[in-house]
Structure 1
Amino acid sequence: MRDLVALMLGAMLLKQVLGEYGMAHVSDMEKNNGKDYCISFNPDWAHLPQDLNKASRLQIHEMTTSVLCSPSEVPAGGFTNRIPMVLRGNCTFYEKVKLAQINGARGLLIVSQETLSPPFGNKSQYEEIDIPVALLSYTDMVEIRKTFSQVKLVALYAPNEPFLDYNMVIIFLMAVGTVAVGGYWAGSRDIKKRYMKHKRDDGAEKQDEEMVDVTPIMIVIFVVMCCSMLVLLYYFYDYLVYLIIVIFCLASSIGLYSCLCPFVRRIPWGKCRIPENNLPYFHKRPQVRMLLLSVSCVVIAVIWGVCRNEDQWAWVLQDTLGIAFCLYMLKTIRLPTFKACTLLLGALFVYDVFFVFVTPRFTKSGESIMVEVAAGPSYSSTHEKLPMVIKVPKLNTSPLALCDRTFSLLGFGDILVPGLLVAYCHRFDIQMHSSQIYFVACTIAYGIGLLVTFVALTVMQMGQPALLYLVPCTLLTSLGVALWRRELAAFWTGSGFVKEIVQPPLVKGSITCTHPPDVPVEEQPANKEPLSTEATNQSEEPPSGDQEP
């Protein structure tokens, strides 16, 4: 199940909303001080100026006890050159704004106690209205009443967001760093395990060495499960999202423990073990330092689970847990051949493109299933978000940052899937003594593919399936290096390390030291016996067929 969840999201997504966000700059009549408040508006009703200095400052006509659904609610004299502020409900947006426009209003602010969603209507209604209509949150309305005097001015405007955001740099460094470190670590541990298999290790360390080889049948089953799970999330999001959150907490705590374990083992303190007992897990008598590490990892995951919606800082914990989870999965899952790499990346390439670009043709909202699930469906009553993404908030200084702390998201699948190929390249480098050329080339190709994804995201201003760019970059680069070095056959089949390295058979029996050549046999100590002919023959090359064994 953890594998399914880890690779379920494969799109580079930017949170999208229907309509647009704008700002309502409120100030006093007597004073020059003012403050911006977030509004949600539909540009199909009327456009807002992009610059505050070009926006008209108009008086607010407060009617927060009215819903403005009938002419009887219009005050004597109407709303000449003012912007009424009314409550949401009882009639359509069109009926409210039509009534306000007829009575001389220059705009309309609708106070909503629900999530800000842009006002909507049909095409013919849009053509009749030429004043802006926007939604303002109830909390902001209460603050405006407390902060400003009875006579308040408001200017509605919609500033442009910066073309690029610095959070893209942070996501790029985290993604490329995770792929490089995870691929290098996984490849090194795999080779070490194969060559050191005949040695005995501590039980806990042996568990760290466990790996899962991916077969073609497993890949097919996995992709089918991914498709099924994504569709189920689309239709039953409010029920399954909590299951995904719990799974993420458990899996990420295990991943964090696995990543920190090698460092904690270097600490010289806490090596003593707990007393003998019959409790589950504790009957193995773990070391105190490892027990404290386990508790710490679980506590961190629980803190994130409880405070996951704190947008100010919870994303840091989520990214930390997510990176640790990705490193753990790269160390655990192994693609044994380039053929398996091609099959997995190709299948998920089709999966990613289909659910981002094709599914909008089948959904009622016209949004892709991938975008809806990853960013949180607009129809969700829980407003929960799936945690299987790396997320970084926008770092620009635009006033629109007040509206919604929007995040740029990168699915774990966009790290794990190419990362498995990078790990394979590193293992092949070690086996072929090729100075890590495959590993370095594949890692650089991943970085280039991610940059291309960012460019496409910025130009198209819509969610992009990152595997659309990452898979060709990494696969073709690895294939090109193999062709250039004339190692395609070995690279395709993984020959040299697909089969376990066969160790020479060990000879059982007592082995005694031979006497120096210049010392007679009879002068050896009494408790030592000369090496027998049989033992000597066993330690030498096998005899030929015409000799006696």
Structure 2
Amino acid sequence: MARKLTIFICALFAFLQVNCQEGILHVSGGSQEKEYCLVYNSSFSSISVSLNDAIDYQLVNLSSSFLCSSSDVRPNELKGKAVVVMRGNCTFGQKAQVAQDSGATTILIASDEPLVTPFVNVTEYGQVKIPVALMRYRDMEDAYKTFGNSMSVKLYAPPTPVFDFSILAILFISMFTVGMGGFWSGAAEREKLNTAPMGGDSRGRTDSGDLSLYSPLKVIMFVAFMCVMLVLMYFFYAYLVYVIIVIFCVASATALYSCLDAIMEKLGCATLSFSCLGKGWSGRSLLLAALCITVAVLWGVYRNEDRWIWILQDLLGIAFCLNFMKTINVSNFKICVILLSLLLIYDVFFVFITPFLTKDGQSIMVEVALGPGSIAEKSGGKMVTVPAEPTAPFEKIPVVMRVPRFLAPNLCMMQFSILGYGDIIVPGLLVAYCHRFDVWTSSPKRIYFMSCTIAYFLGMVVTFVVMILSQMGQPALLYLVPFTLLTSAAVAWRRGEMKRFWAGTVYEMEDLNMTALEENAEFSKNSSPPFQNH
């Protein structure tokens, strides 16, 4: 049975492949070989899917020409050969028709501008029969420097599987962060209860620095603030992106310090206290602070170095989400329902509805989350933009977990599977509340926490399945919110604790206040007044 399931999954992954818009230019000359990035349009350019099946053509260098007319080429110069020309002065379709009429088999267009998916006019669509592809001008110069004029080329574009194992890495990161954040919140609540004064109760209050969401008005104002910020980011992205980057560096460094300090405290590491200038200092705190600041500064300096900086961004992002889930305490299930429902509407509106309201038909959420230049992610891989130089052409706000796609061609630029911080934090607040409720009620085996965490996992799986089948990015909250809310409510209803689960700490405090009032009334009834008027 397991063997049949494995064969079925492998066959499914092999079937779910798409033709991307990035290709590979294989150049050879003598005993040397080298490969370069190509961008083409699979809708009208047919390119081999493997190097072995690709046809070898001699390359003619006409990079001094734009090839906008037949006068730019000598008779029979291009017959049966591939040609490279410069971008500009006329359309891609015009260049392709001139090359085709001259007998060329392939046209490569060298560009010192960002490479975009080439297109032709409707009238030219059926007339262009040869492959049309763009390459970097710097790559063309490197090829001629390496191989000289006697070189041959092959064009191929291996299909990219829709499923990539980076999705499993994203799933692991999200599950780890939600699980640990919820566990940390519950553990902090248990410690607070254990250290409460004798006869007192700490439910309903938070530690210094923690923030409790207990008012529906506060939740509505919070969501409204998020909407305003998202719209401002859309219209003033070029300026506000740097504000967000600075805020992220400060907040993530603080969060990483909080996480590492909690780990050190749990492991019983010494504080290494010492005195200096008449003040007491903690050596451990200073070392951790220096480490966290260094990590945040490194990310800020090298944030566009896609090859490895994603590791630091994910580390800082995990710390940020963990600290947020531990610091923000949702007081009851009612607030959870209001918060998650409003954010679900917010997510769906800015992903699915705003494309009908924007001039370019792009989602405001996707435009802000991925940056203005991520055409490949926005179009599901149907259109790409590759920078002419190996530097990022635009800034991206650090609001997503990123893992490089293992099976995607990364010759042109690295491609990533992503997950927004909100898709971790928002359901994570409910998971954290469930664990705190487990602590308040001493529920066996952390039933609420475990059930909500499993529901989050199932919601993530459904999100990825829909994304793979539709080949489109999905607003994860559309699936995570119903899974987690309905599961938590079902557990509370099944255990007969819905009233208590709904009211949360408010219910607890009302209980305590009613008990105190009853005791005071009974005391007043049975005792005589201390003074009497005569």
Question: Is 1:274–1:288's contact at 8 Å kept on the other side of the alignment?
Answer: no
**Counterpart-to-counterpart distance in 2, 1:437 and 1:258:** 28
Matched letter for residue 395 of structure 1: F
Task: From 283, 287, 294, give the equivalent of 2:282.
Answer: 287
Could you tell me whether the CA contact under 8 Å between 2:20 and 2:159 is conserved in 1? Answer: no
Aligned to 2:11: none
CA contact (8 A) 2:64 2:85 kept: yes
List per-residue Cα deviations over 1:214-255 (Å, max 9, x = no partner).
221122122222222222222222211111111110000010
Q: Residues 114 and 18 of structure 1: is their aligned pair in 2 closer, same or farther, counting only changes over 3 Å?
A: farther
The answer for the alignment partner of 2:338 in structure 1 is: 343
Distance 1:502 1:260, change over 3 A: farther
Q: Deviations over 1:458-509 (max 9, x none)?
A: 1111111111111111111111111111111111111576539969xxxxxx
1:393 aligns with 2:404: yes
Which residue type is aligned with residue 466 of structure 2?
A
Kept in 1: contact 2:337–2:485 (CA 8 A):
yes
**Which stretch has the larger CA shift, 208-217 or 307-316?**
208-217
My pick for the range that moved more, 412-421 or 479-488, is 479-488
Task: State how 1:293-312 maps to structure 2 within 5 Å.
Answer: 293-312=288-307
CA contact (8 A) 2:61 2:149 kept: no
- What does residue 239 of structure 1 align with? 239
Pair 1:112 & 2:93 matched: no
C-alpha distance after superposition, 1:415-462 (max 9, x if no partner)? 000000001101111111212100000001101111111111211111
Whether the 8 Å contact between 2:404 and 2:414 is mirrored in structure 1 is: yes
Counterpart of 2:416 in structure 1 is: 407
| Cα distance in 1, alignment partners of residues 118 and 314 from structure 2 | 35
User: Which residue is 2:45 aligned to?
Assistant: 46
What is the CA-CA distance between 1:124 and the residue it aligns to?
2.3
- Change in CA separation of 1:353 and 1:18 when aligned onto 2, cut-off 3 Å: farther
Whole-angstrom distance in 2 between the partners of 1:127 and 1:121: 9
Asked if residue 423 in structure 1 is aligned to residue 432 in structure 2, the reply is yes
1:89 and 1:417 map into 2 onto residues whose CA distance is 48
Written as runs of structure 1 = structure 2, the 5 A alignment for 1:95-174 is 95-174=94-173
Contact between 1:423 and 1:439, CA under 8 Å: does it hold in 2? Answer: yes
Q: Which has the higher helix share?
A: 2
Shift of 1:212: 0.9
Cα distance in 2, alignment partners of residues 163 and 174 from structure 1: 20
Deviates most, 148-157 or 126-135: 148-157
Q: Distance in 1 between matches of 2:334 and 2:43?
A: 51
Whole-angstrom CA distance in 2 between matches of 1:408 and 1:330? 23
CA distance in 1: counterparts of 2:423 and 2:496, whole angstroms: 29
**Alpha carbons 2:500, 2:507 under 8 Å: kept:** no
1:518-533 equivalences in 2 (<5 Å): none
Structure 1: tracts of 5 or more residues without a match: 1-16, 200-205, 278-284, 504-540
Partner of 2:258: 258
Change (3 A) 1:72 1:181: same
Per the alignment, residue 81 of structure 2 pairs with 82
Report sequence identity in percent.
46
Q: Give the whole-Å Cα distance in 1 for the aligned partners of 2:217 and 2:271.
A: 46
**Higher alpha-carbon deviation: 422-431 or 81-90:** 81-90
SS in structure 1 at match of 2:52: helix
Distance 1:182 1:418, change over 3 A: same
For residue 545 of structure 1, the aligned residue among 510, 526, 532 is 526
Deviation at 1:136, TM superposition (A): 0.4
1:467 equivalent to 2:477? Answer: yes
Q: Distance in 1 between matches of 2:58 and 2:137?
A: 19
- 2:454 is aligned to 444
Give the AA of the match of 1:80. K
Deviates more, 1:176-185 or 1:220-229: 220-229
Quick check: 1:274–1:287 contact (8 Å CA) kept in 2? no
- Answer whether contact 2:210 2:327 (CA < 8 A) is retained: yes
2:317–2:400 contact (8 Å) kept in structure 1 = yes
Distance 1:292-1:497 versus aligned 2 partners, 3 A rule:
farther
1:263 & 1:493 partners in 2: Cα distance?
A: 32
The residue aligned with 1:203 is: none
* Residue aligning to 2:464: 454
Give 1:332's aligned amino acid: T
Partner SS, residue 423 of structure 2? helix
Cα distance in 2 between the residues matched to 1:217 and 1:286: 42
Counterpart residue number, 1:376: 371
* Counterpart in the other structure of 2:495: 485
Q: Deviations over 1:358-406 (max 9, x none)?
A: 222233333322222222212899511111111111122x5x2212210
SS in 2 for 1:272: strand
Amino acid at match of 2:361: G
Could you tell me which amino acid in structure 2 is paired with residue 351 of structure 1?
Answer: Y
Residue identity in the other structure for 2:242: Y
Structure 1 residues 207 and 438 mapped into 2: Cα distance closer, same or farther (>3 Å)?
A: closer
Report the alpha carbon displacement of residue 207 of structure 1 after superposing the two structures with TM. Answer: 10
Aligned partners of 2:355 and 2:364 also within 8 Å: yes
Over aligned residue pairs, what C-alpha RMSD do you find?
Answer: 2.8
- Residue 320 of structure 2 corresponds to residue 325 of structure 1: yes
Specify whether residues 273 and 44 from structure 1 end up closer, same or farther in structure 2 by C-alpha distance, changes over 3 A only. same
Partner of 2:23: 22
CA 1:99/1:275 → structure 2, altered by over 3 Å: closer, same or farther? same
Partner SS for 2:245: helix
Distance 1:353 1:269, change over 3 A: closer
User: Residues 52 and 365 (structure 1 numbering): CA distance in 2 closer, same or farther, change over 3 Å?
Assistant: farther
For residue 471 of structure 2, what is the amino acid of its counterpart? Answer: Q
Separation of aligned partners in 2, 1:286 and 1:193: 26
- Aligned pair count? 481
Cα distance between partner residues in 1 of 2:253 and 2:69? 57
Query: What residue identity is the alignment partner of 1:476?
Result: L
Q: Which moved more, 1:38-47 or 1:346-355?
A: 38-47
Any idea what the Cα deviations from partners look like across 1:124-170, whole Å, max 9, x if unmatched?
A: 22222111111101222122112224221112122111232121111
Q: 2:478 & 2:126 partners in 1: Cα distance?
A: 40
